[in-house]
Amino acid sequence: MDLFSDIPQKETKAITVTQVVRKMKRAIESGLGRLWIEGEISNLKKQGSGHWYFSLKDEGSQLQCAMFNARRKEGSEALEDGAKVKVFAEATVYEARGQLQIIVEKVERAGLGDLQAKFEALKRKLNAEGLFDADKKQRLPVFPRTIGIVTSPTGAALQDILNILRRRAPWVQPVLFPVRVQGRGVEREIANAIHKLNSAEKYGYPACDLLIVGRGGGSLEDLWCFNEEIVARAISASIIPVISAVGHEIDFTIADFAADMRAPTPSAAAELAVPDSAELFSLLETAKKRMTRAITSLLREPSQQLDSLRDALAGTVRACLREREQQFRECAMRHQAHHPRRVIDRREEKVVSLKKNLCQLVSHQISGSENQLERLQHLLRTLGPESAFQRGFSITLDSSGKIVRSIHQAKSGDQLRTKLLDGEVRSTIR
């Protein structure tokens, strides 16, 4: 098919780039349509927008692919670096770049890619030899003073490691053994670095207590040097404990299995390598407080015993003083009690008391007599004739002074006296 058959050969006027790209796009879309393509995934990038971009390759070529809203598309879980897949897609041209692009609609697994197959094969082989056995893992030093770092001198991973070491353990001396971490022959450089740091004195390097071997994230191909057998065997043979720190948390390499410890990232490796100085100071402060409490506890009982003895001694002294003071007061009181002046005072007090009692007794007797006389007077007034007189009664007496109680005692011619309240009346009976 001639893409430019509608343009005259002798046409002197050129067409624009956009026109050419659009002609290419129409030609490819109409010529190829939607089809199944098989290949190996590499350079997978998952954007926050939900669109995924990756390369689909085989031994001879590769295609740039895009899968929009990937998580909603069928088979998207099969997309991972190194995986061999079949994609149902439409070929087109990305106009902004004039670049051939495959728009993927769905994915199916087509078996492991070649790199993934090599990874699994080597993993099985080394595991069978016992390189990954737990009993061969070395314990990491608690307080390493010198740490060897095998990585790229220009990568962000190195800066991340150094920043964390400076923050957590400023006393640690980092020793960089610069190597490439991507490209042909890189695996031999990494293995050689591990070997030389294990023979530090021979090669003029500081003796290291711990090694960190790794790099930042990347595709399966970018990290592949850490899946090479030579690197795994160098790590396994290291007499210095090794932390493998390759890629991101989801990335696993053969080096991770061979190392004494695997860190999910280079930053995490630095955190695993050294204790946090702030935590150490906190632990020291806690230990100081515990020791202080322990010493205080040991001294507390003797101190309490000393206080008790001091209190007991003071109490005894005070008791003795009180007893002597009491004895002195008793002697003084006995002396005062037998003093002539005191005897006279007591006798004078007794005379005064007797006099007072006598006066009280006489006064009491007089008061009693007066009260009795008053009662008799009152009784006399109540029972005597005056009382009757006051009530209107009178007494009649004959000439001899006898009380006339009946008319039969009086006869004609008798002289009578009748006593009233305010006097008497004389009368003669006729």
| Residue 175, pLDDT score | 95
In terms of Cβ atoms closer than 10 Å to its own Cβ (0-12, 13-18, 19+), residue 264 is: middle
At 7 the pLDDT is 52
Q: How far apart are the C-alpha atoms of 166 and 270, rounded to whole Å?
A: 10
Largest Cα–Cα distance in the chain?
210
Interior angle at CA 202, CA 201 and CA 207, nearest 5: 25
pLDDT for the residue numbered 9: 55
Enumerate residue ranges in the chain where pLDDT < 50: 1, 3-4
Q: Where are the beta strands (DSSP E) in 223-313?
A: 242-246, 261-262
Tell me the pLDDT tens digit for each residue of 18-48.
999 899 889 888 888 888 999 999 999 999 8
Which among 198, 202, 199, 205 is positioned nearest to 175, based on CA atoms?
Answer: 205
pTM value > 0.85: no
CA quadruple 210, 215, 220, 224: dihedral positive or negative? negative
Distance (Å, rounded) from C-alpha 54 to C-alpha 41?
7
Per-residue model confidence (pLDDT) at position 153: 94
What distance in Å separates the CA atoms of residue 421 and residue 393, rounded to the nearest whole number?
8
In a 13 Å sphere around the CA of 426, the CA atoms on its Cβ side amount to 4
Mind giving me the DSSP string for 356-413?
Answer: HHHHHHHHHHHHHHHHHHHHHHHHHHHHSHHHHHHTT--EEE-TTS-B--SGGG--TT
- How many angstroms separate the first and last alpha carbons of the chain? 200
Residue 111, pLDDT score: 58
Query: Apex CA 217: angle with CA 216 and CA 219, to 5°?
Result: 140
In this prediction, residue 1 carries a pLDDT of: 46
Residue 15's identity, in one-letter code, is: I
Cα torsion 31, 33, 38, 39: sign: positive
